[in-house]
Amino acid sequence: MLADPVVIDPRKARCQRLRRTITEAAKLHEREARWALERLGRSAYRKTFITLTYRPGETWEPRHVSRFVRLMRQWFKRREYPCRFVWVGELQKRGALHYHVLVWVPRRLRLPRPDACGWWPHGMSNIETARNPVGYMVKYATKTRPEDIRRLPKGVRLHGNGGHDPATRVHLRERLWPQWVAQEWDRRRIEAHVEELERGVETEDEHYARRADEEALWCVYARRYERKGFPRLLRVSGGVVDLVTGELIPTPWRIDVSRGVVRAYLKTETLQ
């Protein structure tokens, strides 16, 4: 027997993903900027806020914003700097789509105007300095409502980010775990700690044998991590897998899609 279902609104879920992703990505970029400030004793980045708008008569087409991002990345790459950015799309009341882009520009560089240099040939651009970069992005990310999703062109992307190093990309992914994953992960960590306390004093041979097993598992994980920032958990069908121990953490939810309605049921064994 299943519990009462939770009806999931795909448009509302998309808005929530947008807000969480943009907020967390901007926070991580700003954390890197603060670390640079502490090391250098002065601000290392100019937080540049760009607005991209379409001229009258020009409409959205696929790859407009991706082309802009690609050209901007190439500009940074030629100067041997990472391109740290987040962007969000916003639909105006009149139905026109425009984009807000936040870029962490090293102090010694000055970003050109996108419409003047050919990055954004579809209309106008405006550049200003963002005093509160995370607040700027949260402001525009929260403007998109579920009813706005209905009016969007098919296939349009609403947000993106880039410029994170491999370890930070993993950290961002962990921040965006579903709530049940975070709760289950915390529960297992607490249980492991309690089990270690209950185990009491180990003999010297038991201690070194246990440490050797743990180090062997972590060495495998570390080699993967060094290559491209390997995550600790990996999503699979039915839940997530701990890549260090190989243990499956099953999802407590069962998803059912019928007649265009998405319902989530809490599994019976979870309720007991």
When mean pLDDT is compared over 64-78, 154-168, 173-187, the highest value belongs to 64-78
**Is the CB of residue 5 less than 8 Å from the CB of residue 262?**
no
Sign of CA dihedral 141, 146, 148, 152: positive
Q: Is the pLDDT of residue 111 over 90?
A: yes
Token pair of 125 as six digits: 């651009």
Predicted local distance difference test score (pLDDT) of residue 232? 76
User: Across the strands, what pairs with 105?
Assistant: 46
**Alpha helices, DSSP H, located in 45-156:** 64-78, 114-117, 133-141, 146-149
- Pairwise CA distance, residues 242 & 18, whole Å: 26
Q: For residue range 166-191, what is the model confidence (pLDDT) as tens digits?
A: 878 888 888 888 888 888 878 877 87
Q: Is the pLDDT of residue 223 over 70?
A: no
- Kindly list the strands in the beta sheet with 159-162, ordered across the sheet, starting from the edge strand earlier in the chain: 123-129, 45-54, 97-106, 84-91, 159-162
Q: What is the CA radius of gyration of the chain?
A: 23
Which domains are seen in the chain, by residue range?
9-164 (3.30.70.1910), 177-271 (no CATH)
Give, to the nearest 10 degrees, the angle between helix 166-175 and helix 204-228: 110
- What's the count of helices (H) and strands (E) in the chain, helices before strands? 9, 11
DSSP code per residue over 157-201: --EEEE---HHHHHHHHHHT--HHHHHHHHHHHHHHHHHHHHH-S
Q: Which of 175, 231, 165 is nearest to 22 (CA)?
A: 175
Q: For residue range 4-24, what is the model confidence (pLDDT) as tens digits?
A: 788 888 889 999 999 999 999
Identify the residue with better confidence: 133 or 215: 133
pTM score, two decimals?
0.80
φ/ψ of residue 152, rounded to 5: -75, 150
In eight-state DSSP terms, residue 150 is: T
% of the chain with per-residue pLDDT over 70:
84
Q: For residue range 32-62, what is the model confidence (pLDDT) as tens digits?
A: 888 888 887 778 899 999 999 999 888 898 8
DSSP code per residue over 97-116: EEEEEEEEEETT--PPPHHH
How long a stretch of residues is the chain? Answer: 272
- Mean pLDDT computed over 140-164: 89
Token pair of 189 as six digits: 């960590």
In eight-state DSSP terms, residue 137 is: H
**Is the CB of residue 144 less than 8 Å from the CB of residue 69?**
no
Name the amino acid, one letter, at 229: G
